[in-house]
Homo-oligomer: A and B are copies of this chain.
Amino acid sequence: MTENLTLQMDDYLPLRDVVFNTLREAILKGELKPGERLMEMHLANKLGVSRTPIREAIRMLEQEGLAVTIPRKGAQVAKMTEKDLQDVLEVRDALDALAVTCACERMTDAQFVELKEAMKAFEQATKTDDVRKIVEADEAFHDVIYAAAANPKLETIINSAREQMYRYRYEYVKNPSVYAQIIQEHKTIIDGFDRRDVEFLKNIIHTHLSNQINAVRELIREQK
């Protein structure tokens, strides 16, 4: 009798999605740098697949804003200008304001606990030298807020906006002198949710975002 019904077939993913995730990760972690060419054959060989799934993945990256294609010349990892950064930040500011507003109304007690735990996890992470871990812990903190906003469309759009600048953020987070401030801001955010003070939250989130601008701007200047 086929008793082990735990077999979930959903571990099947089309190669295009595997490739997409792989490339996406590589871009976000900076392994593929802004401006770097994405050559189909090269990637196909490297990943052990044919060009077909590579091409489909590139189309997806393109739509996400992570790659740019010039017809008959090929794709490359998208670069950001300072203006682009400014623009994205303007948008994120508005979207984050919406997110905290929604989250403030809708956050469950369980989610609030989760948020406090995410904060602690981040504090722990800063004690290691693992930059990836630190970045992920910070993202996880904000993910709790986005999830609490209970608006999947918003989540998708914020994530796409986030991605476009987050890949410039690794360097920023490498500087341990900023950890104390980030930790403090996270605490303040928790406090804001505790008091359900929307205006206060919008403000602190705005500050939290702004603090990243200069560091990222520096990096974008260097890329030229």
A-side residues, CB < 8 A to B, are 12-14, 16-17, 52, 55-56, 59-60, 62-65, 71-72, 84, 87-88, 90-91, 94-95, 97-98, 102, 151-154, 156-157, 160-161, 164
Q: How far is the CB of A188 from chain B (nearest CB, A)?
A: 22
List the 10 closest pairs (A to B, CB-CB), nearest first. Answer: A63-B63, A87-B153, A94-B98, A59-B59, A87-B151, A56-B59, A88-B153, A91-B154, A14-B71, A94-B94
Taking a contact as CB atoms closer than 8 A, the residue among B14, B62, B161 that contacts A60 in the complex is B62
Q: Which residues of B contact A84 (CB under 8 A)?
A: 153
Distance (whole angstroms) from the CB of A42 to the closest CB of chain B? 19
- The reply to whether A91 and B59 contact each other, CB–CB distance below 8 Å, is no
CB neighbours (8 Å) of A71 from chain B are 12-14, 17
Interface of A is mostly: helix
By a CB distance below 8 angstroms, the chain B residues around A12 are 71-72
Closest B residue by C-beta to A97: B94
The copy count of this chain in the complex is 2
C-alpha spacing A157/B56, complex, angstroms: 22
Given contacts A16-B59, A90-B153, A95-B95, 19 further A-B contacts (CB under 8 A): A12-B71, A14-B71, A14-B72, A17-B71, A56-B59, A59-B60, A60-B62, A60-B63, A63-B63, A65-B156, A84-B153, A87-B152, A87-B154, A88-B153, A90-B102, A91-B95, A94-B94, A94-B97, A153-B161
List, in ascending order, chain B residues with CB within 8 A of A154's CB.
87, 90-91
Query: Which residues on B sit within 8 Å (CB–CB) of A160?
Result: 157
A151 closest partner in B (C-beta): B87
List residues of chain B with CB within 8 A of the CB of A151. Answer: 87, 90-91
Q: Once bound together, how far apart are the Cα atoms of A156 and B84, in whole Å?
A: 12
- Residue among A14, A63, A84, A152 with most chain B CB within 10 A: A63
